[in-house]
């Protein structure tokens, strides 16, 4: 092979070419690194913020849970507050939990109870407000009839406006339980 450059100049040109190639490679890596840092910095900042927020929420939930679960006086007060509501047999004849169980057991499978609210009018009278949905008008009237036939509740109020729709009826039934002691 015929070479026009002397050996010394050839080595210098290869050295310059290698140096240029390495400088170009490092400049490309540097620019790509800066580009990636700029693109990923919002994501990093957001994930750091989200991580800190979750840690703060877990810490506050842990503090609240520890304060609620470890305080025996609070547990006793909560239990004492629920006890008269669920076991008021002497004043009202039937346990409140038994009345709620009766309300739920008398419904058929096409009636879906969403909530039961109770108000204690006097020691011998309680009012229950039941809200829910029934698949058809017939299912709702069947539930109303089963509550009436059972005889536990002294007054059952199902508004006629709840019977307007033929399907997916939203209803609100008001039941009154009155305890009359037998002498």
pLDDT tens-digit map of 84-109: 655 545 454 667 778 888 888 888 88
Instruction: Specify whether the CB–CB gap between 89 and 99 falls below 8 A.
Output: no
**Which pLDDT score is estimated for 64?**
55
Q: How far apart are CA 151 and CA 97, in angstroms?
A: 17
DSSP state of 110: T
Which long-range CB contacts under 8 A does 37-45 form with residues at least 24 apart? none
Residue matched to tokens 């011998």: 124
Best CA proximity match to 148, nearest among 139, 140, 156: 156
Q: Write the burial class of residue 164 (CB in 10 Å: 0-12 exposed, 13-18 middle, 19+ buried).
A: exposed
**Which pLDDT score is estimated for 31?**
97
- Tens of pLDDT, residue by residue over 23-44, are 999 999 999 999 999 999 999 9
**Which pLDDT score is estimated for 183?**
45
> Which stretches of the chain are DSSP H helices?
7-69, 72-86, 89-92, 96-105, 137-150
**Which pLDDT score is estimated for 90?**
45
| Tally of CB atoms within 10 A around 125 | 17
Helix or strand holding residue 182 (H, E): none
Report the chain (183 residues): mean pLDDT per 10 consecutive residues: 74 92 97 95 92 82 59 72 58 70 87 85 77 88 89 85 81 83 51
């Amino acid at each position: 092979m015929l070479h026009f450059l002397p050996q010394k100049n050839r080595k210098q040109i290869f050295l310059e070419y290698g140096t240029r190639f390495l400088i170009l490679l490092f400049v490309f890596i540097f620019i790509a690194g800066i580009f990636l840092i700029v693109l990923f910095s919002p994501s990093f900042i957001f994930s750091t913020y989200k991580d800190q927020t979750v840690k703060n929420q877990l810490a506050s939930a842990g503090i609240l849970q520890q304060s609620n679960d470890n305080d025996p006086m609070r547990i006793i007060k909560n239990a004492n507050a629920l006890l008269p509501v669920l076991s008021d047999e002497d004043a009202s004849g039937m346990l409140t939990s038994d009345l709620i169980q009766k309300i739920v057991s008398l419904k058929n499978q096409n009636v879906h109870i969403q909530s039961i609210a109770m108000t204690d009018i006097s020691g011998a009278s309680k009012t229950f407000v039941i809200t829910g949905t029934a698949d058809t008008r017939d299912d709702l009237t069947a539930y109303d009839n089963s509550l009436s036939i059972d005889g536990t509740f002294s007054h059952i109020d199902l508004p006629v406006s709840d019977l307007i729709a033929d399907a997916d009826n939203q209803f609100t039934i008001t039941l009154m339980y009155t305890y009359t002691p037998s002498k």
